[in-house]
Structure 1
């Protein structure tokens, strides 16, 4: 495959799916197989957590099956940030067995996916989550249907099933799980950047179900999203806001809400001539998009120092570009040390990026196909690329690929 062919294909697919920013190329393959339910899992589009409180008082958290409203406060100690900035890699494994981390970020969790038939004409997409265990030093599979790991890797929030009527809060190694009962069922949960609130996307039915295609035909499932709930962990306040899915946006299935970078707004994927995101305040009122934040589909987004933005390359010499926000100049980020860069995943620091990249030999780009790729640590000024994981399989079969979720260390 030539460079021009790869870039043209990628840009065409992004254009066709402009309402759903691709989390990774494996996800794009998944969407091509299931056009009737264009969707993006919240974990691949959301921003990473940035600040974690040392302790929070959570009056509304309750243990076991009881309803919220426990009068005795529960102090939930959240893990301190990991001070380490050393690179951790497992270049021979895909998915990794040991921690993948670089600079200020780490993949404390990852997920694989599998389509399961549930009736004669329906199927459901199920994610299998793995989480890094500091005690064992390896990733361990979890029983949870949805997971968001907080900065430092020890605290986490999760859902037992999709949809779920309660959310679990795990506050550290060996800590007891505390439960928050939900007024309306939810199918996704994310901790706020300052680790004081939860954002849950509410659905009346499982958004991961779809019809099985028959004779190459596609039938979309009814859209079931009903809104979002914000839970204030410190005060115990839980408020639901009704925001139905846009019936004209083309989303069949998931359209989860995400936190804005500073945690003051939430956003959803949206298809229009002017934007791919629609923003709301925490009261459910539509608000203008923050400057820069909605200007890119690259998952890495803004650099830690706020000086650079990972964007789409303005020409076909590359897929990824790095924009200097002081000058507005964008420099394509293409090949490095035998690899072709496909997506900017996370900033390790202001000078280094974690990226998905495929192998390149001479004029041949993406040896084995664009979905045979691995995580690399690359510098913006060139230099050696450091492999962080093994190569993902170049296959569209369920359960054969994985997606990392990077969080601040």
Structure 2
């Protein structure tokens, strides 16, 4: 039996048995505004690592726990050196690989909203990862996952919140569990794949109140701080950090890595649309040039030149600010597409965006929530569809991609 056949058989077995518990995911989608700085509406709203090859983790989830008696099956391939643009413009979520330049979508999640009491609900996620052998995305059982740059390892949480984080490395590797001082609600790999950044919560950050008369009351966040785990030594250090009480989104307030891995950051409410940076010991620090100025998920371009900006041109679909000169570059609508969010850089001259079909300035055909991933040339030269349209990203069953440098 080949390794591909083994993976597919295991996946079939797992799909018959596994259940994703109703209390395992997160509440983080945010309604975007059509003017000003748009909030990035996914928990992976900053740095999100993904597998750089085929990766499946079909360990069973039963009663919210992973069966440690069964090894996690992980099939990893070498990172692709190709900068070829590939996509699945007819499907949402995609069935085949989505990648452009130095960035790829090797995982995504589909979210659902589950009512757990008369006045409370929880957002759950079903995570899928790209399987190179089958050349498609396959669902996994984890409540949270993040894959290291280069695709050699994956960090997982069994549930949210969790008292330990799991790391799976290599072909057929077993889960290495690391106990935590404080419960974890999210985990992210450092850019050098040597550390984990854990956001700690006292409760489930994905719970929210059930809306009443179309009014959403936000639940206070239970965030307690963050933990940095050194994987070589297995040592971890918790840093208490008060949550931003002015954050109108409440609930989940995750930390993310800076591009070089020397700092961590969170979204800032004052002034709105900015970021706050800290060193690895919890001390406030200034951010890299331009990085603190943008709320958009794409952040600073790989060469450090561009950041998303507000455009002075009312007819422009998006704008970029040159960090060095302050010059603002306006990009016109391309091929009937209206650009809504900048979510990841493919390379220095191309950015991946959410875009809708345009019917005029600041207006979309049908709804602004019907959109697809689009690769855009910052000079306005071309736009390449990467996925099909998701019909409404504000409703259960919608999908959210995660990105990494490949």
Cα 1:263–1:47 shift into 2, 3 Å: farther
Cα 1:372–1:214 shift into 2, 3 Å: closer
* Deviations 1:212-264 (CA, angstroms, capped at 9, x unpaired): 13344544323211111000011221011111213344342011111111111
Cα 1:173–1:367 shift into 2, 3 Å: farther
- When normalised by structure 2's length, the TM-score is 0.80
Note the 1:257-406 alignment, pairs <5 A.
257-273=255-271, 276-361=274-359, 365-394=363-392, 396-399=394-397, 401-406=398-403
1:408 maps onto 2:399 in alignment: no
1:94 Cα offset (Å): 0.3
Cα 1:110–1:364 shift into 2, 3 Å: same
CA contact (8 A) 2:109 2:127 kept: yes
Instruction: Please identify, of 303-312 and 128-137, the stretch whose mean Cα deviation from structure 2 is larger.
Output: 303-312
For CA contacts below 8 A with separation 6 or more, give which structure has more relative contact order: 1
* 2:86 equivalent among 85, 88, 92: 88
Instruction: Please identify, of 249-258 and 183-192, the stretch whose mean Cα deviation from structure 2 is larger.
Output: 249-258
SS at match of 2:293: coil
CA contact (8 A) 1:109 1:139 kept: yes
Cα 1:327–1:250 shift into 2, 3 Å: closer
1:395 Cα offset (Å): 5.8
1:163 Cα offset (Å): 0.3
Whole-Å separation in 1 of the counterparts to 2:107 and 2:296: 20
* Deviations 1:150-171 (CA, angstroms, capped at 9, x unpaired): 2234522111110011111122
Cα 1:325–1:269 shift into 2, 3 Å: closer
CA contact (8 A) 2:49 2:146 kept: no
1:379 Cα offset (Å): 1.5
Q: How many residues of Structure 1 are paired with residues of Structure 2 in the alignment? A: 357
CA contact (8 A) 1:90 1:100 kept: yes
1:77 Cα offset (Å): 12
Whole-Å separation in 2 of the counterparts to 1:387 and 1:183: 44
* Deviations 1:59-109 (CA, angstroms, capped at 9, x unpaired): xxxx9879xxxxxxxxx9996532121111111100001110011110011
SS at match of 2:133: coil
1:189 maps onto 2:193 in alignment: no
Q: Which runs of 5+ in 2 are unaligned?
A: 1-31, 53-65
- When normalised by structure 1's length, the TM-score is 0.80
* RMSD of aligned alpha carbons: 2.8
The runs of at least 4 aligned residues of structure 1 exceeding 6 Å deviation read 63-66, 76-79
1:224 maps onto 2:248 in alignment: no
CA contact (8 A) 2:305 2:324 kept: yes
